[in-house]
Chain A
Amino acid sequence: MGSLSLDSVRKSFADTVALDGVTLDIAEGEFFTLVGPSGCGKTTTLRTIAGLESPTSGTVRFDGENVAGVPTEDRDVGIVFQNYALFPHMTVSENVAYGLNFADPPNGESVEERVADLLDLVDLSGMGEREPEQLSGGQQQRVALARALAPAPEILLLDEPMSALDARLRETLRRQIKRIQQELDVTTVYVTHDQEEALAISDRLAVMNDGCVEQVGTPRAVYQEPATEFVAAFVGENNLFRGEAVGTSDDGTTTVSVEDTEFRVADGDLATGALTFCVRPEQLSVGATENQFQVEVDTVEFLGETTRYYAEWGDRTVVFRTPEPEDRDVLTLGFDPSDARVL
C-alpha cells in the first residue's frame, strides 16, 4: 500500500506543454523529491498525482491501479501547500479534524484522540483552540502537516512547504518533517526548487527540467554522477568544460583538448569528438599535480568552513573552494583525472 507510478504522463495547457512524458516509480514509504527550477513541471506533476489536474495522456497508478477519473477526495492523499491554506474560520483543532469528517480515524481512535496525537506529533500540543492567524508561519505549516496526516493518507504530497519560511526555520522544520515521515512510514512526494534541500531530505529525487525528468536517483548518485549537463549545473556547484576528445592513453584515461589546454579525464574511454566533462569546486585544488591550468582570482567569498573563489580562466569563470585561504591573485589549479565526470 502506498506505492505510486507515473507512466509517460503528458499535460498540456492552452499554449504550453507542462509535462512532456514523465515516468516515475515511487516505492512505498519512500521520501521522494521532485526538484527543478520554476516552471519545470514539478508542481504540475504533484497536482496530477493529487488529481487536481488530469493528464492529457499517460497514466497515474496507485498500488498498480489506474486512478484516472478518481477525484481528489477519493485518492487518499494528504497535501500541504506553500501558503499553508489553513481554513481561517476554524480553530487549529477544527482544521486538523476536518478530514476526519470523511474518514474514520485509524486504529479505532476517537477524533479528539487523533487530533491530540497529531498536534503532539508536530509539537503543537495545547495549541488546538488557537485561531490559525494567531500562529507563526512555522507553526501554521506544522498545523497544515498535521491536518494532511490526520486521515492517515496513503501518500503525503508536499508542495514547496517551506519556501515562505526563513532559512534557519526551514532547517529545523526539514528535520521535523523527515522524522515524522520516517515515524509514520508514509510515502511522501516533496516538491522544491531548492536542490540543497532536495539532497538533504530525500531517499531519492528526480531532477526535472522543461517538463521532463532529467535524472532519478539517490542524492549521492545524482550529486556524484550527474547524467546530463542540466543536472550537473543545477545540483550543487560545478565547472563545465566543453572540448574535443583527442586520444586515449594506456591507463584508460581520455585526453580532452579545451581551448588549447589538454586535460586527462578518467571517465571517458568511449568518447570521441565533442565531449563535456565537469569538476566540482571542491575537487579543484591548488596543490594538484595533474591537469594544471592557471587562473586569475576575481572574487573571494569566506564561507566559514571553506573559502570560495571565482576565478577567470581565459574568458570563462571557474569556481573552486579551499579549506585554507589563498592570498595570491594568480593560482595554478589542477584536479585528479578520476574526479572529472564526463557527461
Chain B
Amino acid sequence: MRPRRVVERVGAPLLAVVTLGLLGLMFFYPVWLVLIESVRIDGRYALTAFSDVLTDEFYFGVLAQALSDPTVLVRSFPNYRLGLFGFTAYQAALSTIAAVALGLPGAYVLARFEFPGRRTIRSLTALPFVMPTILVAIGFVATFGKNGVLNVALRGVGLPTLELRGTLLIIVLAHAFYDAPLIARITAAAWEGVDSEMTETARSLGASPFRAVRDVVIPQLLPAILTGAVLTFIFSFMSFAIVLALGGLSKATVEVWVYHKITQLDYETASTLAVLEMVFSLALTYAYLRYEARQRAASTARPAERIPLVGSATKRRLFAWGYAVVALVVFVGPIASLVLASVTGSEGFTLRNYRFLVERQASAYSFQVKPLTAITNSLLFGLGTLVVAVPMGIFLAIVSTREFRGRKLIDTLTMAPFAVSGVVVGLGLLRGFVFGTEAFGYRFTIVGPIAIVAAHAVGAYPFVTRTVAPALSGIDDSLVESARSLGASRARVMLDVELPLVVPAILAGMAFVFAISIGEFDSTVILATGDSSYTMPVAIERFIGRRLGPATAMGVVLLVVTGLSFTVIDRLGEGGFGG
C-alpha cells in the first residue's frame, strides 16, 4: 500500500470520529444531561418531578385535575382551564389556522397568476427559513406596539390607540407572518404539479370549472397543505423569541416558561418541562417525517396556463388584488415599520438610533447592553460557527449519500437537532460545560462564547447537510466511476471531482450557517452570561421594552445581514428549502 493511500484510508474514519465526537459533545451529551436532571432528585432517581408537573393545574389545567377527579371534565365543560401546555397547544393551533388562512390564497395567486416580480416573491417565501424570530418580534412591536406605526396612525386621525403587545392576537399574527409563506410555498409547488390535462379531462366529462377544481385539484393539494400545517404547528408549539418578546410571562408558552425557570435558577423544573416538551415535539416531528416520506413524487406535469394579474376585473382578479393588499399590510408592513421606526424620532427623520449603536459603549455602565459589542460578537460567533458547522455538515452529507448498513440510523441521529429546541440545547450546554463537568478525574469547564458557538453549530449544520447532500447525489455516477477507473481512490474522487462540483451548494450552506448563527436567540439568551457575550438578537430583546429606537436600528442591521445571506442561498442553493 502506498503511503498516500494510508493517509486517505485513515483520514475518512478520523473525520468521522471527530464529527460524531463533536456531535456527541455539543448535542447528545447536553440533551442527556437535561434528561438526567429531570429524573434525579436529591441524588436519587425518581419520576416525582414528572408526576408533580403532570398533576399540577398550572401546567396541565383541566387534565391535571381530571387525573384525580374525572368528573371535572363534565362539570366544567366547556370552560376548561388550559394550563401551560394546553395554552401552548392552543396558541399553536390558532397560529396554524391563521397561517393556513393567510397562506392558501397566496399559494393560489403564486400558482395561477402571472405578474412582474412573481419569481422574486416566490423565492422570498423561503425567507422565513433564515429570518431570525427576534426580527419578526421587533417588526411587530414597531408596527403594533404602543408607539408603533399603527398607533401613530390612529392618533394622527384622532382615534383611540390599541395596545396589542401582551395579547394572544399579536402572537398568532406573528406566527402567521412567519409560517404562511411556508404554506404558500409548499402548496403553490403542489398546485403547479397538477397537470392541466386532468382538469381539462374533468371539464370534458361535464364538470363545471368549480367542480373540476374541487374534484381534481384540491385532493392533490391536501397533502401539501397538511404538511405545511403540521410544520407550522410544530414551529409555533416550540416558538420562543416571538412569544417572549410579544407575549411576556402572561402569555408564556412551555418554552418561555423553561427559560423563566432557568433565570430563576430552578433547573430541575426547567429540565422536567423541557423533557416533556421534547417528547411532544419529537413525536410530532416523527409523525411528520413518516407522513412526508410517503408523499414524495416527481412530477412532469404540464401546469395550467397562468392568468395575467392585470386585465379586466374578473372575480378571480379582484380576489387576487384583494389578497395582494392584505399581503402588503401583513408581510411588508412589519418590515417597513421596522425600517421606518429606526430612522424616525420625535424630531422626524434621524440617524440618532444608528449613532447610538456605535456611541453607546463609551458611556455604558457595566450592566448595560453594549450594542457594538453585540454586533462584533454576532459576527465572531458567526465565523466560529462556520468553522465548526461547515466541515461537519459536509461530512454528514457525504455519509448520507452513501449506501451502507445503518445509514438510516446515522441519518436520524444527525438530523435530530432539527427537532430539539435551542432552549433545551442551551440548558444542557449551560449545565454541562459552562458550569463544568467531571470526567477522568478532571473538571472541564468551557466559557460562554465557546458554548454559544457549539449551540449555533448544532442548529446550523443540518442546513449544510440538507443543502449539500442533494447536490452530491445529483452528480452522475459515471463521473465517479470514470475517475476510479483512471486510478483515483474513493477519497481522491471526493476531493478531485465531487466536492469541486458542489461548491455552489457548499457556499449556500455557509450562508445558511452564518444567517442561522447570527439570528439564533433561543440558546444564546441562555448561554450569554453577562453582556460580554450578548449578540444582536439578545441585545434587541433587551432593548425592546425600553429603547425601541436602538432595537429597530439593530433589527435593520440584522435584516441586512440576513438578506445578504438569503441572496447567496437563493442564487446558489438548490435543495434545502423543500418546495
A contact residues vs B (CB 8 Å cutoff): 50, 52, 71-75, 77-79, 81, 83, 85, 87-89, 98-99, 101-103, 144, 147-148, 150-151, 153, 157
CA distance A153 to B478 in the complex (A): 18
Task: Indicate whether A98 sits within 8 Å of B501 (C-beta atoms), given known contacts A50-B481, A85-B479, A85-B481.
Answer: no
Contact A147 B486 (CB under 8 A): yes
Contact B497 A72 (CB under 8 A): no
Residue ID in chain A nearest B501 by CB atoms: A89
Interface status of B310 (Cβ within 8 A of chain A): no
Most chain A CB within 10 A, of B481, B487, B496, B501, is at B487
Would you list which residues of chain B between 506 and 557 have a CB under 8 Å from chain A?
none
B contact residues vs A (CB 8 Å cutoff): 476, 478-479, 481-489, 492, 496-497, 500-501
Contact B478 A102 (CB under 8 A): no
Say how far B45's CB is from chain A's closest CB, in angstroms.
Answer: 46
Residue ID in chain B nearest A153 by CB atoms: B485
Contact B481 A73 (CB under 8 A): no
Q: Which of A73, A88, A89 contacts B485 (CB 8 A)?
A: A73
Contact B482 A101 (CB under 8 A): no
Contact B496 A71 (CB under 8 A): no
Task: Indicate whether A89 sits within 8 Å of B488 (C-beta atoms), given known contacts A79-B481, A81-B482.
Answer: no
Q: Which residues of B contact A148 (CB under 8 A)?
A: 482, 485-486
Residue ID in chain B nearest A74 by CB atoms: B487
Contact A87 B485 (CB under 8 A): no
Contact A73 B478 (CB under 8 A): no
Contact B485 A72 (CB under 8 A): yes
Q: Which of B484, B492, B500 contacts A72 (CB 8 A)?
A: B484
CA distance A310 to B71 in the complex (A): 89
Q: Which residues of A contact B496 (CB under 8 A)?
A: 87, 98, 101
Residue ID in chain B nearest A103 by CB atoms: B487
Most chain B CB within 10 A, of A77, A83, A85, is at A85
Contact B482 A79 (CB under 8 A): yes
17 other contacts beyond A102-B487, A153-B485, A157-B485, with CB at 8 A cut-off?
Answer: A72-B484, A73-B487, A79-B482, A83-B476, A83-B478, A85-B476, A85-B479, A98-B483, A98-B486, A98-B488, A101-B487, A101-B488, A102-B492, A103-B487, A147-B482, A147-B486, A148-B485
Residue ID in chain A nearest B500 by CB atoms: A89
Q: Which residues of B contact A52 (CB under 8 A)?
A: 481, 484
CA distance A99 to B486 in the complex (A): 5
Q: Which residues of B contact A50 (CB under 8 A)?
A: 481, 485
Q: Which residues of B contact A98 (CB under 8 A)?
A: 483, 486, 488, 496
Say how far A77's CB is from chain B's closest CB, in angstroms.
Answer: 5
CA distance A75 to B497 in the complex (A): 20
Q: Which residues of B contact A157 (CB under 8 A)?
A: 485
Q: Which residues of A contact B478 (CB under 8 A)?
A: 81, 83, 85
CA distance A72 to B262 in the complex (A): 57
Say how far A146's CB is from chain B's closest CB, in angstroms.
Answer: 12
CA distance A33 to B476 in the complex (A): 25
Closest 10 CB pairs of A and B: A102-B487, A99-B486, A85-B478, A81-B478, A72-B484, A79-B485, A85-B482, A89-B500, A73-B484, A73-B487
A–B complex contacts, Cβ < 8 Å, 9 sampled: A52-B484, A72-B481, A73-B484, A81-B481, A85-B479, A89-B501, A103-B487, A148-B482, A151-B487
CA distance A144 to B485 in the complex (A): 12
CA distance A144 to B483 in the complex (A): 11
Q: Which residues of B contact A102 (CB under 8 A)?
A: 486-488, 492
CA distance A83 to B477 in the complex (A): 11
CA distance A277 to B500 in the complex (A): 59
CA distance A50 to B478 in the complex (A): 12
Residue ID in chain B nearest A99 by CB atoms: B486
Q: Which residues of B contact A78 (CB under 8 A)?
A: 485-486
Most chain A CB within 10 A, of B484, B486, B488, B496, is at B486
Q: Which residues of B contact A153 (CB under 8 A)?
A: 485
CA distance A234 to B489 in the complex (A): 40
Q: Which residues of A contact B497 (CB under 8 A)?
A: 87, 89
Say how far B525's CB is from chain A's closest CB, in angstroms.
Answer: 43
CA distance A83 to B480 in the complex (A): 13
CA distance A120 to B492 in the complex (A): 28
Residue ID in chain B nearest A94 by CB atoms: B496
Q: Which residues of A contact B501 (CB under 8 A)?
A: 88-89
Q: Which residues of A contact B492 (CB under 8 A)?
A: 101-102
CA distance A30 to B303 in the complex (A): 53
CA distance A157 to B501 in the complex (A): 25
Task: Indicate whether A73 sits within 8 Å of B482 (C-beta atoms), given known contacts A88-B501, A98-B496.
Answer: no
Say how far B512's CB is from chain A's closest CB, in angstroms.
Answer: 23
Q: Which residues of A contact B481 (CB under 8 A)?
A: 50, 52, 72, 79, 81, 85
Q: Which residues of B contact A144 (CB under 8 A)?
A: 482
CA distance A81 to B553 in the complex (A): 58
Contact B483 A151 (CB under 8 A): no
CA distance A10 to B501 in the complex (A): 35
CA distance A86 to B299 in the complex (A): 29
Q: Which residues of B contact A81 (CB under 8 A)?
A: 478, 481-482
Most chain A CB within 10 A, of B479, B482, B489, B496, is at B482
Residue ID in chain A nearest B483 by CB atoms: A98
Say how far A144's CB is from chain B's closest CB, in angstroms.
Answer: 8
Q: Which residues of A contact B500 (CB under 8 A)?
A: 89
Residue ID in chain B nearest A50 by CB atoms: B485
Say how far A154's CB is from chain B's closest CB, in angstroms.
Answer: 12
Q: Which residues of A contact B488 (CB under 8 A)?
A: 73, 98, 101-102
Residue ID in chain A nearest B496 by CB atoms: A98
